[in-house]
Structure 1
Amino acid sequence: MARAATTSDTFNAIAEPQRRDILALLRGREWPVTDLARELGMSQPRASKHLRVLREVGLVRVREAGKQRLYGLDARGLRPVHEWVGGFERFWNESFDRLDSYVQDLKQERQEQER
């Protein structure tokens, strides 16, 4: 089955590491594209292309501020990802519980050996 177009699917859009880097920066504040590009070590056209994809899937919003366009995170677009990942929460909780139990057993064995 063919994958959905990157510009219409949140999962495909965030599969690109540079887009995730952009989202991580936008988590803290709004950025103009030139500053984002500089911070991430990419060309301005490349940053603009990534921002366009992120805008089209609803992860980024744009605000005019004088002559600048400021890009900010719109985390509501991450809801499908959050819901999908949330389905694995039970698995992770059980894994961490088993790890905690194992660590406690090791501590107890070590204490018994020291006696």
Structure 2
Amino acid sequence: MDGLEAVGDSVRRRFVELLARGERTAGELAAHAADEFGITQPAASRHLRVLREAGVVASRVDGQRRVYALEPAGLDDAAAWFQGLAVFWEQRLDALGTELVRSRRAQRSPQRITEPHPAQEAS
């Protein structure tokens, strides 16, 4: 399983988000998972193992605790995949930007005031 597949699960994505802010113990991550997703500690451990085996996170033992940290290189495949899609979005965002500029110009340009036709004034 590569990094992109590993973060396909919402629990694992949340772990990556938390680890992006700094190291966390397995217990802290399991507590977050229990609060947010209602999963057990063993289930959280299985998610962490998937992330570790995919190379997305690394772990180390600190006394009785296992401490996890993000391995940014583990997400290189996912980043490359998203980068490949960037061309698709850039074209559409550029088109949206053009339309927004046109809309702003249209709002700023003075509207024509039409003079009444002389035949209409006589009425």
Q: TM-score range by the shorter chain?
A: 0.7 to 0.9
**TM score, norm. by length of structure 1:** 0.85
Give the one of 17, 22, 30 matched to 2:15: 22
Aligned partner (choices 54, 57, 60) of residue 60 of structure 1? 57
Give the conservation status (yes or no) of the 8 Å contact 2:2–2:77. no
Using the TM superposition, give the Cα deviation of residue 113 of structure 1 relative to its aligned residue in structure 2, in angstroms: 4.8
Report the Cα distance in structure 2 between the residues aligned to 1:70 and 1:113, rounded to whole angstroms.
Answer: 64
SS of the residue 1:87 aligns to: helix
Name structure 2 gaps, 5 residues minimum. Answer: 113-123
Corresponding position: 1:76 with 2:73: yes
For residues 73 and 52 of structure 2, the distance between their equivalents in structure 1, rounded to whole angstroms, comes to 12
Q: Aligned-pair distance for 1:43?
A: 1.9
Gaps of 5+ in 1: 1-7
Q: Amino acid of the residue matched to residue 88 of structure 2?
A: F
Partner of 1:112: 109
1:114–1:62 Cα change, 3 Å: farther
Shift of 1:108: 0.7
Q: Deviations over 1:32-84 (max 9, x none)?
A: 11111112323211110100000011001001222211011111011111111
What percent of counterpart residues are identical?
Answer: 33
Q: How many residues end up aligned between the 2 structures?
A: 108
Q: Which residue of 2 aligns with 1:38?
A: 31
Cα RMSD (Å) of the superposition? 1.6
Q: Give the direction of change, closer, same or farther, for the CA distance of 1:61–1:111 in structure 2 (3 Å limit).
A: same
Other-structure match for 1:9 = 2
CA distance in 1 between partners of 2:88 and 2:110 (Å):
33
Following superposition, the deviation at residue 21 of structure 1 comes to 0.6
Q: Distance in 2 between matches of 1:59 and 1:11?
A: 9
Secondary structure of 2:21 counterpart: coil
